[in-house]
Structure 1
Amino acid sequence: MSREPQAEAVIDLDTYRSNLEALRAAAPGALQMPVVKADAYGHGLAPVARAAREAGADWLGVATGAEALALREAGDTGPVLCWLAAPGADFTSLAEADVEVTASSAEQLAEILSGSTRRPKVQLKVDTGLLRNGAFGPQWDLLVEAAVQAQSAGRLEVTGVWSHFACADEPDHPANDEQERVFTESVEQLEAAGIAPRLRHLANSAATLVRPSSHLDLVRVGIASYGISPDAGLQHGVALQPVMTLRGRAVSVKRVPAGRGVSYGHTYVTDRETTLVDVPLGYAEGVLRTASGRARVGVAGAQVPVAGRICMDQLVADVGDLPVARGDVVTLFGPGDDGEPTAQDWAEAAGTIAYEVVTRLGGRIVRTYRGER
C-alpha cells in the first residue's frame, strides 16, 4: 500500500539556492538578506533558512521576534533581523539570542532598552512613504535623537537604517524616486547626528530586480527567492524558478453523464459525458475558494478545470476523457515545466497575488523537501 501523502507541497531547495544565486548576481555589490518570515512564505522556516545559509546568505530577515527565536532554536547562528513588534514584546530574549531588532519609533526604542541585560543591536526604520511601519516625519527626528543619546551612553549599538518601498514593482511610479530621496536625506540626518550605521537597506525583491540605485549595502529578497515575480508584468531578465509544487492524489474517479451539477450549489454543470476526479485539497489547506470555477489543475500532462466550488477538504476536477485512476497525482500548481498551472495562474483565477497563494497553505498538507544537504 502506498504511503505517499494525499496532499503534498514539494519544496525544491536546489531551486531555491539557484534563485538566491541569480538574485545575488543581480545585486553584486550588496549583501543579501533572504526573507523567511511567515514560515518562509509557506515553504517551511527551518529547511529554507538552512538552504539560504548554505547558499551564502549574509543575513536572514523575519517579521517577528518569535520567528527569530525559532531560527535560533533550529540551530541558526548567523545574523538575523526582525522588525515587527507590538508593545510588551520580549526584546530581552532577542538580545540574549543575538538577534538584531528594529526600532520604528522613539517609544519602541525605549521598550527595547527597558530591562535589557545586554547591549542590544538595533536597526532604525524610517517610513519614507509606505505609511505603514517605521518612523515618519517628526517621529524620525525623535527616534534619531533618542538613538544618539542611547548609543552615546553605551546602551545600544545602532547597526543599520532601513526602509521599504511601496511601489517598486511599478518601476516608473514616481513614489520610487521620492522614497529614495527621503531615505538618503534620513541617512544623512542620522550621520550628521553622530551615528554612521554599517548597513543601509531599502531594496525589496522588486527593487533588487529592477532598481540598482537602491541596492546600497544590502538587499532583502523575499518572494523572488521563491521563484515568484513580485508582479506578473515586471520585466527583469533574472532567471527565477518556482520552488513549490502543490499536488494531491486522486481519491475518487467517476464517469458522469452530461447535464449533471458538480459540488455545492451546482454552479458547474457537465456539458458532456465526462470524468470527474476528487482531489483532497480545499480551503482548510489554504486553497483559495475564490478560485472556484476559474482555476485549473494539471493531470495526465494536461490542464483541466476545477469543476464548481472548492470545498473545505477537497475540490473536483473535470478531466474529460483523460486516463486518470485513483491514486494518480493531480497538480494544483508548480513551476509550469510539465504544463501544469503556476501559483501566478491561481492568483489570477482568485483575483489576488501569488504571495497569498503560497503563504496561506497549511492544514493537512505534508511538506516534502528535495535537495536537502
Structure 2
Amino acid sequence: MSTFPARAVVDLDAIAGNVGHLASLAPTSEVMAVVKADAYGHGLVASARAAQAGGATWLGVAQLAEALTLRAHGVTGRILTWIFAPGAPLESALAAGLDVSVGAPWALEEVVSAARFSGRTARVHLKVDTGLGRGGMFLDSWSAVLADALRAQADGAVEIVGVWSHLASAEDVTSPVTDAQLAVFVEAVARAEAGGAHLEVRHLANSAATLVNPAMHFDLVRPGLAVFGLSPIPGRTPAELGLTPAMRLEAEIMLVKEAVAGQGVSYGHTYTTDRATLLADIPLGYADGIPRAASGVGPVDVDGRRLTVAGRVCMDQFVLDLGPDSDARAGDVAVLFGPGDDGEPTVGDWAEATGTIPYEIVTRLGARVPRVFVGSAGRPASEQRAQESAW
C-alpha cells in the first residue's frame, strides 16, 4: 500500500474511449497514440496498452528510452521514436523492432551504420521541417538526405516507411502557416514516392488537426494530448470535442487548524487571513509538479467548495483557507483537478489560472505521486486485482 498522501487516478477506459473517438474522426487513417513524457504524465505502459485497446495501431514516443521501456514491458505493435542524439544505442532500437525518425544527415548515417552492423533493415520515417523551424530538415536539405536514404534502401540497410512533420498552429484551420506547411508536406511526399520510397504512412496531424482538420489526416493521425481527454484547442472544452479527461489529482488533507485574523500564511506571508478561520495543509508542492505560479490562484475542491491556494506553493505542500465554518478534517480528500463532472476544477482551469497550457499541468506531475489506474482497458486481470487489493 502506498504511503504517499496523494494520488493521480487515471481512468484507462477513458483513454481507450478517447482513442476510439479520435479514430472515428479519421476513419480512413490509422491512429498513432503519442504516449511520450510518461504518457503526458498518466503512466507510460498502462496508458499505451489502454490506447491500443481503444484502437491505436501505432504508438509514438519522443525519447528512445521510452520506446525501449515499452518493449521491455511486452508492449507489441508499431512504435515510432524520434529523439536521440549522436551515439545513441540504435542497434538496440533495431533489435527491439522500433521505427526510428531520421531528421538530420548524421541520423541517417548512424541508422545505416547500426543496420549494417546488426544485419537488420531499419524502418525509418524521414522528417521534413515544413515550417515549424524545429526538428527535421527543410525541404532542400531533406531532399538530399532522401536521395541518400533511397540509396541505402536499395542496399537493404533501410526501408523508408514514412514521411512526417510537425505543425506549428494546427488548432487554427484558417492559418496561412498551416496551409503553407501542408503544401510543403505534400511536395515532400511526392518526392519520396517518385524516388521509390516504400511508404506505408504519411503523417502530419497532431491532436488539434485530428479533431478539426481532415485535410491533414493522410494515412495516419498522431494525437497526443487528446488521447488523455484534454483539449488542444484554446476556447474549446474537452466535452465540446467529445473527449473525456482521464486524470483526477487528489490529496488527503494533512492538517486542519484554527488561525486568527491577520495570520500570515506560507513563505513571505503573501496571504493574510482577514478573519478567524481554519487553515488546511495539503501535501503536494512544486516538487510534485504543482506550479509555484499557482500561489494565490490555484483552484482546489474541498467538500464541493471551490477554494484557492492561500499564499505560496512550497516544495512539498500548500495551504487552503477553508473559512470559519468548514467541517473538513485531516484525512478528507481535496481534489485539485478532474474531469469536472462533479464541479471540481479541471486541468484547463489550472492552466488558465497559472498562465500556461494543459500539456504542462499534466506532464510536470512528479514521479513520487502514485498513479492509480482504474478501468480495465488494456490491463491484465492480474494487475487489476493486485492494485485493488493494494488500495
TM-score, with structure 2 as normaliser: 0.92
Distance 1:213 1:362, change over 3 A: same
The equivalences for 1:172-321 within 5 A come to 172-234=174-236, 237-320=240-323, 321=325
Letter in 2 for 1:75: G
Instruction: Please give the alpha-carbon distance, in whole angstroms, between the structure 2 residues aligned to 1:363 and 1:155.
Output: 39
CA RMSD of aligned residues (A): 1.5
Aligned residue in 2 for 1:326: 330
CA contact (8 A) 2:86 2:106 kept: no
Aligned residue in 2 for 1:30: 29
Partner of residue 348 from structure 1, selected from 347, 352, 359: 352
Instruction: Please give the alpha-carbon distance, in whole angstroms, between the structure 1 residues aligned to 2:218 and 2:198.
Output: 14
Instruction: Please give the alpha-carbon distance, in whole angstroms, between the structure 1 residues aligned to 2:367 and 2:112.
Output: 39
Instruction: Please give the alpha-carbon distance, in whole angstroms, between the structure 2 residues aligned to 1:317 and 1:17.
Output: 35
The Cα of 1:3 is off from its aligned counterpart by: 6.7
1:164 aligns with 2:166: yes
**After the TM superposition, which parts of structure 1 deviate over 6 Å for at least 4 consecutive aligned residues?**
none
Could you say what secondary structure the match of 2:126 adopts? strand
The Cα of 1:105 is off from its aligned counterpart by: 2.0
Aligned residue in 1 for 2:387: none
Could you say what secondary structure the match of 1:221 adopts? coil
1:254-304 CA distance string (max 9 Å, x none): 121222111111101111222111000000101100110011101101101
Q: Mind listing any 5+ residue stretches in structure 2 that lack a counterpart? A: 380-391
The Cα of 1:107 is off from its aligned counterpart by: 2.1
Partner of residue 337 from structure 1, selected from 331, 338, 341: 341
The Cα of 1:69 is off from its aligned counterpart by: 0.5
The Cα of 1:238 is off from its aligned counterpart by: 2.7
Could you say what secondary structure the match of 1:83 adopts? strand
Letter in 2 for 1:132: R
Counting matched residue pairs gives: 372
Aligned residue in 2 for 1:7: 6
Instruction: Please give the alpha-carbon distance, in whole angstroms, between the structure 1 residues aligned to 2:172 and 2:2.
Output: 46
CA contact (8 A) 1:7 1:364 kept: no
Letter in 2 for 1:309: R
Could you say what secondary structure the match of 1:48 adopts? helix
Could you say what secondary structure the match of 2:204 adopts? strand
Aligned residue in 1 for 2:362: 358
CA contact (8 A) 1:22 1:238 kept: no
The Cα of 1:56 is off from its aligned counterpart by: 2.1
Letter in 1 for 2:320: A
Aligned residue in 2 for 1:72: 71
Instruction: Please give the alpha-carbon distance, in whole angstroms, between the structure 2 residues aligned to 1:115 and 1:221.
Output: 30
CA contact (8 A) 1:120 1:156 kept: yes
CA contact (8 A) 1:296 1:341 kept: yes
Instruction: Please give the alpha-carbon distance, in whole angstroms, between the structure 2 residues aligned to 1:234 and 1:146.
Output: 44
The Cα of 1:337 is off from its aligned counterpart by: 1.2
Distance 1:296 1:86, change over 3 A: same
1:157-208 CA distance string (max 9 Å, x none): 1111111100012222211110000000111111122224111000000000
Instruction: Please give the alpha-carbon distance, in whole angstroms, between the structure 2 residues aligned to 1:194 and 1:211.
Output: 29
The Cα of 1:5 is off from its aligned counterpart by: 4.3
Could you say what secondary structure the match of 2:83 adopts? coil
1:197-223 CA distance string (max 9 Å, x none): 111000000000010000000000100
CA contact (8 A) 2:231 2:241 kept: no
Instruction: Please give the alpha-carbon distance, in whole angstroms, between the structure 2 residues aligned to 1:4 and 1:311.
Output: 20
The equivalences for 1:113-128 within 5 A come to 113-116=112-115, 117=118, 118-128=120-130
Letter in 2 for 1:96: A
Distance 1:18 1:115, change over 3 A: closer
Distance 1:3 1:199, change over 3 A: closer
Aligned residue in 2 for 1:368: 372
Q: Mind listing any 5+ residue stretches in structure 1 that lack a counterpart? A: none
137-146 vs 283-292, which deviates more?
A: 137-146
Could you say what secondary structure the match of 1:275 adopts? strand
Could you say what secondary structure the match of 1:63 adopts? strand
Aligned residue in 2 for 1:147: 149
Letter in 2 for 1:58: T
Instruction: Please give the alpha-carbon distance, in whole angstroms, between the structure 1 residues aligned to 2:278 and 2:234.
Output: 33
Letter in 1 for 2:208: A
Distance 1:130 1:313, change over 3 A: same
CA contact (8 A) 2:161 2:197 kept: no
The Cα of 1:318 is off from its aligned counterpart by: 1.2
Letter in 1 for 2:352: E
Could you say what secondary structure the match of 1:306 adopts? strand
Instruction: Please give the alpha-carbon distance, in whole angstroms, between the structure 2 residues aligned to 1:37 and 1:138.
Output: 29
CA contact (8 A) 1:279 1:317 kept: yes
- Identity, in percent, stands at 52
CA contact (8 A) 1:170 1:234 kept: no
Letter in 1 for 2:312: R
